[in-house]
Chains A and B, each alone.
Chain A
Amino acid sequence: MNGGREGFLMGGIRRMGAVLLFLLRLLAQSLPALGRPRLVINQIYNAGARSLIIIMLSGLFVGMVLGLQGFELLQRFGSEQALGTAAALGLLKELGPVVTSLLFAGRAGTALTSEIGLMRATDQLTAMEVMAVDPLRYVAAPRFLGGVVAMPLLAAIFSLIGLFGAQLVGVQLMGVDKGAFWSQMQGSVELRDVTEGIVKSFVFGLTCSLIAVHEGYNAEPTAAGVGLATTRTVVASSVLTLLLDYVLTAFFL
């Protein structure tokens, strides 16, 4: 963790390697962790159900803005009926997964990191090791799995709410024909567009949960160390989300 002595490049490479090795150890413990579903369910509740309000509210407003902006733009070409298509594709493929991932990093990722980091700082993890309980299996793996399961579901809810937000503004407020809004959307959205969003959100869920758990698990066991780890979780998750988004989009085209 003390990357100061090495160069910037070596520090980055080392950190990447550490995260990947951590992922392998985590995956090895994930199957045994599933043997205690209660722990995983706890974490799905923490990461998913408790993020629901913020996800739904954000989805509604993102959809509404999309409806307004899309209408404004499409009206210039006299094709405001394509608003349904624009909103659906924008939400399903980009905004749904990406914004959900950013919110997830801020809402659930920070909670994970500070929780595990504080466990590390107060020697709870060490105590588990002394009792021959693998903290990776009972603390890290369930949280990781909870995040991986929660993210695609959250992204789907986000997209759905956003779609209705866009309809609210486009159809109810701006007067786009409702039948045309939905029929044009259904005419141009394909199943692979939906799959693209699901795959993206799954990858983002994996990345954000991994980073959050890793940062917490390897946080410096001081108050300042936990704070730093939490900050790094948000920064790394957000940047990686946007970077991976580009890579995945290029891959799917």
Chain B
Amino acid sequence: MRANRTLEIGTGMFVLLGFAALFFLTTQLPASGLKLGSAKSGYHLTADFDNIGDLKVGSPVTMAGVRIGEVEVIRFDSKQYKAVVGLRIDNQYNQIPDDSFASIQTQGLLGGKYIGMSPGGSDTFFKNGGRVDQTQSAIVLESLINKLFANFANKGSSDNGSGADNKSGSSDSKQGTQK
């Protein structure tokens, strides 16, 4: 009887554990699954962007390269045709000037998108529910290349020598905006 009991408990635990693992893998990993994330503390800001690229919920929000919060929600504003991004900033960073600037940047060459904040000069700070007015959209590589080629073609038709200079100039400016 005693052996039976441990056997039953062991089997039950094993099957339970297995199905719990299956449940987690099928519901929590795919983007389509339901999320059971716990609510974290912090205060909330919103920011409108023309284009967020492939920014995702959970992407970090950084200031001077230090993580200060994360993207909490992404909505589409059907009146202004803009993306509204909800940010959650940790409570310890409560002295961010309310004219700070938010831009969507790319981590490394192939990395994911994140939001980088640069401080403004205002004396008042962001409060819960505040809105970031100054934003810069994600840089979409295709449109950048399009612009580059349009520029290149224009220059090329007017004078034939300076195409190469123009190209290097553009890629400099691209790096400048990403930094």
* Total CB contacts across the A-B interface at under 8 A: 122
In the complex, what's the smallest C-beta–C-beta distance from B69 to chain A, in angstroms? 9
* The stretch of A64-72, A132-140, A176-184 that contacts the partner chain: A176-184
Which residues A107-163 have CB closer than 8 A to chain B? 150, 152-154, 156-157, 159-160
* The stretch of B42-50, B95-103, B107-115, B138-146 that contacts the partner chain: B107-115
* Residue contact A45 to B11, C-beta cutoff 8 Å: yes
* Residue contact A152 to B18, C-beta cutoff 8 Å: yes
| B30 contact set on A, CB distance < 8 A | 186, 189-191, 193-194
The A interface, classified by DSSP as helix, strand, loop or mixed, is: helix
* Residue contact A179 to B29, C-beta cutoff 8 Å: no
A63 at the interface (CB under 8 A from B): no
A230 at the interface (CB under 8 A from B): no
B13 at the interface (CB under 8 A from A): yes
* Residue contact A180 to B22, C-beta cutoff 8 Å: no
* Residue contact B112 to A52, C-beta cutoff 8 Å: no
Which residues B4-20 have CB closer than 8 A to chain A? 7-8, 10-11, 13-15, 17-19
| B58 contact set on A, CB distance < 8 A | 179-180, 182-183, 186
Produce 1/0 per residue, B122-143, CB < 8 A to A.
Answer: 0000000000000000000000
Q: How many residues of A contact B (CB 8 A)?
A: 41
The B interface, classified by DSSP as helix, strand, loop or mixed, is: mixed
* Residue contact A152 to B59, C-beta cutoff 8 Å: no
Tell me the complex Cα distance, A42–B1, Å.
Answer: 14
| A177 contact set on B, CB distance < 8 A | 60, 67
* Residue contact A156 to B7, C-beta cutoff 8 Å: no
| B150 contact set on A, CB distance < 8 A | none
B26 at the interface (CB under 8 A from A): yes
Tell me the complex Cα distance, A184–B60, Å.
Answer: 11
Tell me the complex Cα distance, A160–B24, Å.
Answer: 8
* Residue contact B29 to A79, C-beta cutoff 8 Å: no
Chain A residue at minimal CB-CB distance from B11: A45
**Of A41, A44, A79, A193, which one neighbours B111 at CB under 8 angstroms?**
A79
* Residue contact B22 to A198, C-beta cutoff 8 Å: yes
| A185 contact set on B, CB distance < 8 A | 29
A→B interface (CB under 8 Å): 41-42, 44-45, 48-50, 52, 77-82, 88, 92, 150, 152-154, 156-157, 159-160, 177, 179-180, 182-191, 193-194, 197-198
12 pairs, CB–CB < 8 Å, chain A vs chain B: A49-B11, A78-B108, A79-B109, A156-B25, A159-B25, A179-B59, A179-B70, A180-B60, A186-B29, A187-B31, A190-B30, A191-B33
